[in-house]
């Protein structure tokens, strides 16, 4: 066997090929590169066999604990994934293909992307969707940039109910751009209507909101979006897709651009990625939308087929004037999500949303009954809510980890003055019994 | 083929959810709920499986076809890497656990894999430190541009633009612009390298940096790269290495040692993580010592007692560029691949990738107009101008599909008319390359004798040439029933 794993040429092939290109050795092939640019000094270990590599990684992987009962969400959720999602998306015809640049040779990827776009449009109640972006945070940034491009303005208002992780990203990204970035603090757990009204001057181009917000509260943002439209600004709403199985849609509230994290649609938590940024909008804004878009068309014999379309927005054509720099996106993750949504189906998906909400509702009653525990906001929520504990939430989390429970996410990590606030998340995977145990153990450590 | 939505029938369902119902005491008011359920398909599991299995068979892929798509490094994706990444301990960890107090202990394995991968990439590129957070190549470029801006701000430099050769990938100028810089494009000279005189004319005190792809998108190594680097450093500019073509020089050249200050690698190219039909990729960025303080947070750190933690205390950092630590499960695949290659395998891989490209170049040179007179590296570029009259590179590409090959990259780089960019990679046999070249030559001959046969291609694919103009005009982007 050749000492180069996965290469396919035999020593005699290599000799014949080197002869054919007039080279005596492999080194000869690199003779146009000055010798002093080249080095053999690499402190990299010798290659491992497949068996040794698996042993090595398995040993490291075992240092992770994956058998915790998880109530930690904060935008990233532990949902059930049907087996067929893995099985279908691990078909080599899907995962070893490149971006569908030759549409006749990529109808599988392209049709699945068109189906995905359809599903996202239907979930969000919007007219069009792109084929994916990197993640919910970069999608929100792209949505903001899209709004500023359309309005030709440079002021942005951001509700602090938007995930603090995403707001931290937005602050990094806007640092070098001529963008005026302003955050508007929540009021009573939801967007502060009066503060927004006061800040909504005619130089505001984009307003960023999230529903359910970081604290899990759900709201009808129709009135706020009307106020945004009154100054001809654009609303960018970040949504949690599972909630859209049941709650009022961004489309119904009049949102202009909808973005979000698609991880909950059939993607494992995987320690942070790969995830799936989605974006939907109104048809009239689509020429300013970033990312790849798949469209239906016909071939010379009138057969339906799919292509990458509206490419005049993209970097390979527009270069520095493109709508975004994105090239490689998250196509396989989008495929996972359309397979997931097809498997769950219209009623199954709504049922998942219902179960998440009901479990959170049950836990709410149980947990707030514990002496010393109080709700942070008394507002309707979807699958997550925040409680004020009588002691430091990080300490409580640390104590419960010892008991095999990841109890939640301490809001104090990102919000000043919330050291005692803990955010609890519930999915269809958490049972009544697990919630009862959480309540008992929480009470015991307080 | 019908859409999954067209197969829907009321009352059919896929997956059953447990009946463990809980009724909460307080209900969400109905005005906060959606009026009607989203019209997702109502189909059984068997229909879903058959539908997507059939769709998959409409694709060309590395598993099924030779896929010499230039600048994309369509190499074989080893199955062991898939298996390693699928370990439940690695898939089921919540990314926020290590941010909980004592939560770091729950994810020591994941953190160790990140740490080890960073160390390996640093060693391979000769750069001091890596961030694995960027979610694709282009995102790595933007991350790097943001670090350039932070460096110049810190130094009190007034910098306005980034210089980029015209042969660069479109993401380079797009990322520079998104990072707040003007873009100055420098044309290529006859050999395909950035024109050195025009470059020097463009360089001044306001140059923040230069983004160079090496080997270039023509598959050639700019021999004057040191001269460029020195000139850029003389104005306190930064040299950026676009490593999308790293498969040419692994185990042989360290960009950091040449003097590059930043670089991104496309692990979904050189390090064999699958492309997924367009992602997920991952685009780690390495930096030299002086740029270390600007790396995005968090940083993975190893403590004195040998445990791993996340460090957020980096006051000069550009901040968060991704929600967490990168596309973790893709990084596991790359780590597994690197472990299997080892030191010798790295060099052996690039040697064979370059041999295969040169072999194809020499076999095709008598029949096609090669762009470079001499050796190429990992890919070879031709112009389709030598095809018969009225036959274009697009026709050649479609004819290749009929012969069972994915087409090369076409019409890129933009500075080559009718470009045909072939990147065979090291994971192809001599027989495959011979057969491919024979078919290429046959097509070149056909372009002169029977051009219509090429204009009509492809005829063996599930659809023929699709009307892209109508697609853009009609904007049928979602299904309406
Ligand atoms: C030379 C070059 N640079 C950058 C990129 C961008 O990488 P990505 O598609 O991962 O964003 C690519 C490939 O697409 C490329 O070929």
Q: What is the DSSP string of A334-401?
A: HHHHHHHHHHHHHHHHHHHHHHHHHHHHHHHHHHHTSTT-EES--S-BSSEEEEE-SS-HHHHHHHHH
In a domain, A184, yes or no: yes
Same domain? A99 vs A207: yes
| A355 contacts B276? CB cut-off 8 A | no
Q: How far is the CA of B29 from the centre of ligand 1 (A)?
A: 48
Stated length of chain B: 481
How many Cβ atoms are within 10 Å of A192's Cβ, its own excluded?
A: 18
Handedness of CA B31, B33, B38, B43 (dihedral sign): negative
Where does A200-269 have alpha helices with state H?
Answer: 222-230, 250-253
Its pTM stands at 0.98
Nearest by CB to A348, from B15, B318, B320: name it.
Answer: B15
- Locate the DSSP E strands across A112-249: 128-129, 155-159, 180-184, 204-211, 234-239
Q: How far apart are CA B440 and CA B461, in angstroms?
A: 18
Which positions in chain B touch A94 (Cβ < 8 Å)?
56, 59, 61, 276-277
Same domain? A255 vs A280: yes
Minimal-distance CA residue to ligand 1 atom 5: B137
Same domain? A113 vs A209: yes
Are A328 and A304 contacting, i.e. CB atoms less than 8 angstroms apart? Answer: no
Q: How far apart are CA A369 and CA B247, in angstroms?
A: 60
Question: Residue holding tokens 């947070």?
Answer: B297
| B178 contacts A98? CB cut-off 8 A | no
Same domain? A321 vs A435: no
Mutate to test the pocket of ligand 1, among B71, B244, B249, B264 (most ligand atoms within 8 A of CB): B244
**CA within 13 Å, CB half, B71:** 26
Same domain? A185 vs A120: yes
Q: Domain of A162: which CATH number?
A: 3.40.640.10
Same domain? A143 vs A90: yes
Angle formed by the axes of helices A50-61 and B108-125, nearest 10°: 130
Q: Distance, in angstroms, between A122 CA and closest chain B CA? A: 6
Burial of B136 (0-12, 13-18, 19+ CB in 10 A): buried
Reported confidence tier of residue B456, pLDDT bands at 50, 70, 90? very high
Q: Distance, in angstroms, between A250 CA and closest chain B CA? A: 10
Q: What is the DSSP string of A123-151?
A: HHT-SEE-S-BS-HHHHHHHHHHHHHHHH
- Residues with Cβ within 8 Å of residue B389, at least 6 apart in sequence: B451
Who has greater pLDDT, B229 or B12? B229
B171 C-beta closer than 6 A to ligand 1 = yes
Q: Specify whether the backbone of A271 is left (phi greater than 0), alpha (psi in -120 to 50) or beta.
A: left
Same domain? A87 vs A215: yes
**pLDDT mean over B406-424:** 94
Same domain? A427 vs A307: no
**pLDDT mean over B363-376:** 94
Q: How far apart are CA B447 and CA B457, in angstroms?
A: 12
pLDDT of residue A1: 41
Q: How far is the CA of B204 from the centre of ligand 1 (A)?
A: 27
Q: What percent of chain A has pLDDT over 90?
A: 97
Are A123 and A320 contacting, i.e. CB atoms less than 8 angstroms apart? Answer: no
A327 C-beta closer than 6 A to ligand 1 = yes
B142 C-beta closer than 6 A to ligand 1 = no
Residues (pLDDT < 70) of chain A are 1-2
B136 C-beta closer than 6 A to ligand 1 = yes
pLDDT of residue B16: 82
- A167: nearest CA in chain B? B320
Q: How far is the CA of A298 from the centre of ligand 1 (A)?
A: 30
Which positions in chain A touch B349 (Cβ < 8 Å)?
4, 6-7
In a domain, A144, yes or no: yes
Q: How far apart are CA A202 and CA A23, in angstroms?
A: 68
Which positions in chain A touch B226 (Cβ < 8 Å)?
37
| B42 contacts A347? CB cut-off 8 A | yes
Q: How far apart are CA B448 and CA B446, in angstroms?
A: 5
Nearest by CB to A104, from B89, B142, B458: name it.
Answer: B458
Tokens coding A110: 């392209």
Q: How far apart are CA B215 and CA B388, in angstroms?
A: 31
| B109 contacts A301? CB cut-off 8 A | no
Reported confidence tier of residue B413, pLDDT bands at 50, 70, 90? confident
Q: How far is the CA of B137 from the centre of ligand 1 (A)?
A: 5
Which positions in chain A touch B362 (Cβ < 8 Å)?
20-22
Same domain? A144 vs A279: yes
B326 C-beta closer than 6 A to ligand 1 = no
Q: How far apart are CA B116 and CA B110, in angstroms?
A: 10
Whole-angstrom CA distances from A139 to A196, B95, B304 are 23, 19, 38
Tokens coding B129: 């430190």
Q: Which residues form the domain of A24?
A: 11-44
Are A231 and A197 contacting, i.e. CB atoms less than 8 angstroms apart? Answer: no
Domain(s) labelled CATH 3.40.640.10 in chain B stretch across 82-340
How many Cβ atoms are within 10 Å of A284's Cβ, its own excluded?
A: 11
Q: How far is the CA of A419 from the centre of ligand 1 (A)?
A: 43
B283 C-beta closer than 6 A to ligand 1 = yes
- Residues with Cβ within 8 Å of residue A212, at least 6 apart in sequence: A218, A240, A243, A247, A381, A382, A383, A384
Find, among B140, B138, B123, B121, the residue nearest to B335 by Cα: B121
Q: What is the DSSP string of B217-269?
A: TTS---TTHHHHHHHHHHTT-EEEEEETTGGGTTTTB-HHHHT-SEEEE-TTT
- Residues with Cβ within 8 Å of residue A360, at least 6 apart in sequence: A216, A381, A382, A383, A384, A385, A424, A425, A426, B24
Q: Counting atoms of ligand 1 from 1, which one is nearest the CA of B139?
A: 11
| Rg of chain A over all Cα atoms, to the nearest angstrom | 25
Q: How far apart are CA B299 and CA B309, in angstroms?
A: 8
Find, among A176, A16, A250, the residue nearest to B160 by Cα: A176
Where does B28-170 have alpha helices with state H?
Answer: 45-56, 79-85, 88-91, 108-125, 137-155
Mark which of A339, A367, A383 sits at the end of a domain. Answer: A339
Nearest by CB to B279, from A111, A332, A352: name it.
Answer: A332
Q: How far is the CA of B209 from the centre of ligand 1 (A)?
A: 19
Whole-angstrom CA distances from B28 to A73, A379, A426, B4 are 20, 9, 16, 32
Tokens coding B318: 């550009």
Same domain? A208 vs A97: yes
Handedness of CA B259, B224, B350, A27 (dihedral sign): negative
Which positions in chain B touch A319 (Cβ < 8 Å)?
170, 173-174, 183, 185
Tokens coding B207: 């140059």
pLDDT per residue as tens digits for the range B44-82: 999 999 999 999 999 999 999 999 999 999 999 999 999
Q: What is the mean pLDDT of chain B?
A: 96
Which positions in chain B touch A14 (Cβ < 8 Å)?
352, 355
Look at residue B119 and tell me whether its pLDDT is greater than 60.
yes
Query: Residue A240, SS3?
Result: coil
Look at residue B371 and tell me whether its pLDDT is greater than 60.
yes
| A29 contacts B375? CB cut-off 8 A | yes
| A327 contacts B323? CB cut-off 8 A | no
Q: How far apart are CA A240 and CA B225, in angstroms?
A: 48
In a domain, A294, yes or no: yes
DSSP code of A276? Answer: -
Nearest by CB to A325, from B99, B110, B174: name it.
Answer: B174
pLDDT per residue as tens digits for the range A199-247: 999 999 999 999 999 999 999 999 999 999 999 999 999 999 999 999 9
Same domain? A179 vs A325: yes
Tokens coding A141: 């940034």
- H helices then E strands: how many in chain B? 14, 13
Secondary structure element (H or E) that encloses residue B165, with its range: strand B161-165
Same domain? A183 vs A91: yes
Reported confidence tier of residue B23, pLDDT bands at 50, 70, 90? confident
pLDDT of residue A197: 98
Are B188 and B194 contacting, i.e. CB atoms less than 8 angstroms apart? Answer: yes
Nearest by CB to A328, from B55, B136, B146: name it.
Answer: B136
Angle formed by the axes of helices B108-125 and B328-364, nearest 10°: 30
| A394 contacts B146? CB cut-off 8 A | no
DSSP code of B106? Answer: G
Across A24-28, B13-17, B239-243, B333-337, least confident range: B13-17
DSSP code of B182? Answer: E
Q: How far is the CA of B237 from the centre of ligand 1 (A)?
A: 23
Q: What percent of chain A has pLDDT over 70?
A: 99
Are A186 and A159 contacting, i.e. CB atoms less than 8 angstroms apart? Answer: yes
| Rg of chain B over all Cα atoms, to the nearest angstrom | 25
pLDDT of residue B20: 74
Tokens coding B196: 């050195």
Nearest by CB to B468, from A165, A309, A398: name it.
Answer: A309
Q: Domain of A425: which CATH number?
A: 3.90.1150.10
CATH number assigned to the domain with residue range B82-340, chosen from the 4 options 3.40.50.300, 2.40.30.10, 3.40.640.10, 3.60.15.10? 3.40.640.10
Tokens coding A96: 């070893």
Q: How many domains does chain A have?
A: 3
pLDDT per residue as tens digits for the range B199-256: 999 999 999 999 999 998 888 899 999 999 999 999 999 999 999 999 999 999 999 9
Cβ-based contacts under 8 A for chains A and B: 716
Handedness of CA B75, B79, B80, B83 (dihedral sign): positive
Find, among A424, A369, A366, the residue nearest to A396 by Cα: A424
Q: Counting atoms of ligand 1 from 1, which one is nearest the CA of B217?
A: 1
């Amino acid at each position: 066997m050749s000492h180069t794993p996965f290469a396919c040429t035999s020593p005699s092939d290599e000799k014949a090929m080197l002869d054919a290109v007039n080279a005596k050795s492999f080194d000869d092939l690199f003779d146009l590169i000055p010798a002093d640019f080249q080095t053999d000094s690499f402190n990299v270990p010798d290659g491992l066999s497949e068996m040794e590599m698996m042993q090595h990684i398995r040993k490291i992987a075992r240092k992770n604990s994956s058998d915790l009962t998880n109530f930690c969400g904060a935008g990233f959720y532990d949902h059930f994934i049907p087996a067929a999602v893995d099985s279908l998306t691990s078909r080599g015809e899907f995962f070893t293909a490149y971006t569908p640049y030759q549409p006749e040779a990529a109808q599988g990827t392209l049709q699945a992307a068109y189906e995905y776009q359809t599903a996202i449009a239907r979930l969000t109640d919007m007219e069009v969707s792109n084929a994916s972006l990197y993640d919910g945070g970069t999608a929100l940034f792209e949505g903001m940039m899209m709004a500023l491009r359309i309005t030709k303005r440079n002021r942005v208002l951001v509700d602090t109910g938007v995930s603090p992780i995403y707001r931290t990203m937005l602050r990094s990204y806007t640092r070098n751009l001529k963008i005026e970035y302003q955050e508007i603090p929540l009021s009573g757990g939801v967007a502060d209507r009066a503060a927004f009204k006061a800040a909504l001057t005619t130089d505001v181009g984009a307003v960023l909101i999230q529903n359910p917000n970081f604290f899990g509260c759900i709201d009808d943002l129709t009135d706020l979006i009307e106020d945004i439209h009154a100054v001809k600004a654009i609303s960018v709403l970040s949504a949690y897709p599972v909630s859209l199985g049941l709650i009022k849609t961004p489309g119904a509230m009049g949102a202009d651009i909808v973005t979000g994290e698609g991880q909950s649609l059939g993607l494992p938590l995987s320690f942070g990625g790969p995830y799936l940024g989605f974006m939907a909008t109104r048809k009239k804004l689509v020429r300013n939308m970033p990312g790849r878009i798949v469209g239906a068309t016909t071939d010379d014999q009138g057969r339906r087929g799919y292509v990458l379309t509206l490419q005049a927005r993209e970097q390979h054509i527009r270069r520095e004037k493109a709508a975004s720099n994105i090239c490689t996106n998250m196509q396989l993750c989008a495929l996972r999500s359309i397979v997931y949504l097809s498997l769950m189906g219209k009623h199954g998906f709504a049922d998942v949303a219902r179960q998440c909400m009901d479990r959170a509702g049950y836990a709410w009653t149980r947990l707030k009954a514990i002496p010393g525990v109080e709700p942070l906001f008394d507002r309707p929520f979807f699958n997550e809510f925040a409680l004020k504990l009588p002691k430091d939430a990080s300490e409580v989390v640390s104590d419960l980890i010892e008991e095999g429970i990841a109890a939640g996410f301490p809001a104090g990590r990102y919000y000043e003055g919330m050291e005692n606030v803990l955010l609890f998340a519930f999915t269809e995977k958490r049972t009544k019994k697990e919630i009862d145990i959480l309540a008992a153990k929480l009470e015991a450590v307080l | 083929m019908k859409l999954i939505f067209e197969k829907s029938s009321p009352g059919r369902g896929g997956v059953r959810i447990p009946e463990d119902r809980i009724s909460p005491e307080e209900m969400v008011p109905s005005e906060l709920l959606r009026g009607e359920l989203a019209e997702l398909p109502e189909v059984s599991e068997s229909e879903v499986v058959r539908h997507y299995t059939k769709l998959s068979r409409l694709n060309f892929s590395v598993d099924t076809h030779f896929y010499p798509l230039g600048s994309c490094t369509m190499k074989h994706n080893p199955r062991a890497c898939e298996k390693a990444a699928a370990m439940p301990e690695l898939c089921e960890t919540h990314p926020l656990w290590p941010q909980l107090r004592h939560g770091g202990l729950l994810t020591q394995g994941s953190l160790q894999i990140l740490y080890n991968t960073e160390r390996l990439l640093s060693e391979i590129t000769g750069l001091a430190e890596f961030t694995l957070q960027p979610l694709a190549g282009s995102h790595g470029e933007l991350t790097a541009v943001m670090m350039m801006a932070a460096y110049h701000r810190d130094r009190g430099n007034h910098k306005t633009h980034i210089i980029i050769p015209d042969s660069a990938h479109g993401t380079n100028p797009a990322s520079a612009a998104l990072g707040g810089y003007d873009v100055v494009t420098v044309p290529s000279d006859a050999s395909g390298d950035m024109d050195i005189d025009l470059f020097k004319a463009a360089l001044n005190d306001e140059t923040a940096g230069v983004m160079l792809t090496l080997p270039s998108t023509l598959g050639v190594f700019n021999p004057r790269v040191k001269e460029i680097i020195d000139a850029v450093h003389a104005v306190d500019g930064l040299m950026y290495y676009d490593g999308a073509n790293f498969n040419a020089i692994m185990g042989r050249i360290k960009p950091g040692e040449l003097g590059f200050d930043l670089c991104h690698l496309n692990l979904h190219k050189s390090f064999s993580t699958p492309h997924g039909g367009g992602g997920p990729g991952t685009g780690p960025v390495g930096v030299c010592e002086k740029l270390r303080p600007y790396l995005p947070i968090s940083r993975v750190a190893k403590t004195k007692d040998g445990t791993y933690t996340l460090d957020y205390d980096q006051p000069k950092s550009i901040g968060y560029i991704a929600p967490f630590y990168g596309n973790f499960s893709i990084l596991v695949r790359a780590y597994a691949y690197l472990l299997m290659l080892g030191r010798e395998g790295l060099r052996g891989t690039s040697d064979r990738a370059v041999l295969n490209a040169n072999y194809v170049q020499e076999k095709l040179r008598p029949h096609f107009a090669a762009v470079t007179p001499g050796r190429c590296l990992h890919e070879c570029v031709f112009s389709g101008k030598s095809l018969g009259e009225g036959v274009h590179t697009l026709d050649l590409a479609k004819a290749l599909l009929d012969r069972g090959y994915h087409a090369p990259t076409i019409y890129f780089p933009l500075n080559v008319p009718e470009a045909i960019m072939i990147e065979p990679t090291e994971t192809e046999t001599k027989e495959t390359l011979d057969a491919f070249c024979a078919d290429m030559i046959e097509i070149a001959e056909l372009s002169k004798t029977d051009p219509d046969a090429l204009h009509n291609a492809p005829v063996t694919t599930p659809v023929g040439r699709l009307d892209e103009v109508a697609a853009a005009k009609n904007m049928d982007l979602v299904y309406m029933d």
